[in-house]
């Protein structure tokens, strides 16, 4: 596959700035490990930060003016592919076709790089793909609108060829959306089963990881809607990729927790989890940084075709790395606290049943010398009685 990277000075500057931010974040992770900072005890701040971002995303999804904009793959539309005899830009094509139909003003126009088809004597210099809402209400009207678009392009650019035209109905879009929901739900269920079995039928590990995954999905969809991006099949692919990435990072941390529980026996569960997070943080952050650098390169230099896909992955991968450390691990600690309190309540209830609800009598302790003190705080000294001589009586 030929991938043309589009370089410009502004994109290069932004890319270098983000690379510097990522390198500094990796340095901060090493500092946290060296200073042994207690991260788990600060879980309310992490939950508050996530709650703030999730609230923004949910509000964006609920607003009529915002919401998640479904693309042609989900709600149907018209797809056109044209071959041009010379080099053209997407801006030029948009200016040529916008007067034909109002929906073409907001169409997605992409410049493709394809090898020539078999038997094609004169391959086009430029290939343009146009995705828009359906042109015309009926099939005849759609064909007339397509002819108008082809005529307008041929008038301006000469021998333009229509390589393919496709109309996606709303029924196919609803089926694809339904299949996407089933795929996400199936991924969550089977990952829950796998993680539970991996950690010895311990359900808390599976539920903690799945809650972090739900956090990532909501974060990704909410922020995507907040920025007004259009969701198509690449967005769904990015969503499933993020689910796999996030659970992988969580399993690495959980594995270290399980190892440390057998090595560190005198520390509390919270201390063991915090130590495990610090031990794996450098590895997790460095892995995340390498992925993000690649995604930033795709976002800034990959062109319009890959920009939305890279943007979705940037949100999801960042959220996945964050949730594995600051969401899944604290949930595991909170679950352990809840289980410990519940176990203590069971023990107290069992002891209360054995004594018929009465408190056992307190053991009598020997009286200490301090208990004999008088009000002045001094211990009274007993008076000495003089001995009497035998045989003599006091008159």
Residue with tokens 């086009």: 124
Contacts of 285 (CB under 8 A, 6+ apart): 25, 26, 29, 321
Decide: residue 182, CB within 10 A, 0-12 exposed, 13-18 middle, 19+ buried.
exposed
Q: What domains lie within the chain, and their CATH numbers?
A: 16-70+172-345 (1.20.1640.10), 77-168 (3.30.70.380)
Question: Residue 47: is its pLDDT beyond 90?
Answer: yes
318-362: per-residue pLDDT in tens? 999 899 989 999 999 999 899 888 888 888 888 777 766 555 555
- pLDDT band per the 50, 70, 90 thresholds, residue 4: very low
Q: Are 77 and 117 in contact (CB under 8 A)?
A: no
% of the chain at pLDDT higher than 70: 82
When mean pLDDT is compared over 43-47, 98-102, 363-367, the highest value belongs to 43-47
Calculate the dihedral angle through the C-alpha atoms of 133, 137, 138, 143, rounding to the nearest 10 degrees: -50
Q: What tokens were used for 2?
A: 């030929």
- pLDDT at 370 (0 to 100): 44
- Classify residue 13 as exposed, middle or buried by CB count within 10 Å of its CB (0-12, 13-18, 19+): exposed
| Contact between 130 and 108 (Cβ < 8 Å) | yes
Q: Is 6 left (phi over 0), alpha (psi -120 to 50) or beta?
A: beta
Asked whether residue 196 carries a pLDDT value surpassing 50, the answer given is: yes
Q: Residue 127: phi, psi to the nearest 5?
A: -120, 125
Asked if 328 contacts 211 with a C-beta cutoff of 8 angstroms, the reply is yes
pLDDT digits (tens, 9 = 90+) for 208-253: 989 999 999 999 999 988 888 878 778 888 888 888 888 888 888 9
What are the start-end ranges of the H helices in the chain?
9-35, 43-62, 72-75, 90-97, 139-157, 170-198, 203-226, 233-263, 269-301, 304-323, 329-354
Q: What is the pLDDT of residues 95-122, one digit of tens each?
A: 888 888 888 887 888 887 665 555 566 6
Burial code of 79-105, b = ≥16 C-beta within 10 A, e = fewer?
A: bbbbbbeeebebeebbebbeebbebbe
Strands 69-70 and 230-231: parallel
pLDDT of residue 246: 81
Q: What is the chain's mean pLDDT, rounded?
A: 80
Q: For residue 339, give the 3-state DSSP assignment.
A: helix
**Cα Rg of the chain, angstroms:** 35
Q: How far apart are CA 343 and CA 74, in angstroms?
A: 49
User: Rounded to an integer, what distance in angstroms lies between the CA atom of residue 240 and that of residue 184?
Assistant: 7
């Amino acid at each position: 596959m030929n991938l043309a990277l589009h370089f410009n000075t502004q994109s290069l500057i932004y890319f270098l700035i983000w690379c510097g931010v990522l390198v500094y974040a990796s340095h901060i992770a090493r500092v946290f490990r060296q200073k042994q900072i207690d991260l788990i005890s600060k879980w309310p701040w992490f939950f508050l930060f996530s709650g703030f971002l999730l609230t923004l995303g949910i509000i964006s999804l609920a607003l009529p003016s915002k919401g998640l904009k479904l693309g042609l793959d989900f709600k149907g539309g018209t797809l056109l592919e044209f071959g041009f005899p010379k080099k053209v830009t997407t801006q030029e094509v948009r200016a040529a076709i916008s007067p034909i139909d109002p929906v073409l003003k907001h169409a997605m126009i992409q410049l493709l790089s394809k090898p020539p088809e078999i038997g094609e004597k004169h391959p086009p210099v430029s290939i343009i793909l146009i995705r828009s809402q359906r042109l015309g209400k009926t099939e005849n009207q759609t064909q007339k609108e397509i002819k108008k678009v082809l005529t307008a392009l041929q008038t301006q650019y000469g021998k333009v060829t229509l390589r393919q035209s496709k109309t996606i109905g709303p029924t196919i879009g609803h089926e694809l959306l339904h299949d996407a929901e089933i795929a996400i739900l199936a991924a969550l269920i089977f990952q829950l089963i796998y993680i539970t079995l991996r950690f010895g039928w311990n359900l808390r590990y599976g539920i903690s990881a799945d809650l972090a995954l739900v956090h990532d999905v909501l974060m990704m969809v909410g922020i995507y809607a907040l920025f007004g991006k259009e969701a198509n099949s690449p967005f769904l692919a990015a969503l499933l990729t993020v689910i796999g990435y996030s659970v992988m990072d969580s399993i690495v941390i959980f594995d270290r927790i399980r190892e440390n529980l057998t090595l560190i026996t005198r520390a509390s569960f919270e201390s063991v989890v915090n130590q495990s997070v610090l031990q794996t943080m450098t590895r997790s952050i460095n892995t995340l940084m390498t992925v993000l650098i690649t995604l930033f390169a795709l976002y800034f230099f990959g062109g319009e075709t890959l920009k939305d896909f890279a943007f979705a992955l940037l949100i999801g991968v960042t959220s996945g790395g964050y949730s594995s450390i600051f969401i899944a691990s604290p949930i595991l600690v909170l679950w352990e606290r809840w289980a410990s309190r519940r176990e203590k309540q069971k023990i107290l209830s069992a002891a209360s049943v054995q004594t018929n609800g009465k408190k056992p009598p307190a053991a009598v302790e020997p009286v200490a010398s301090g208990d004999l003190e008088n009000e002045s705080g001094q211990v009274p000294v007993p008076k000495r009685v003089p001995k009497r001589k035998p045989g003599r009586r006091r008159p």
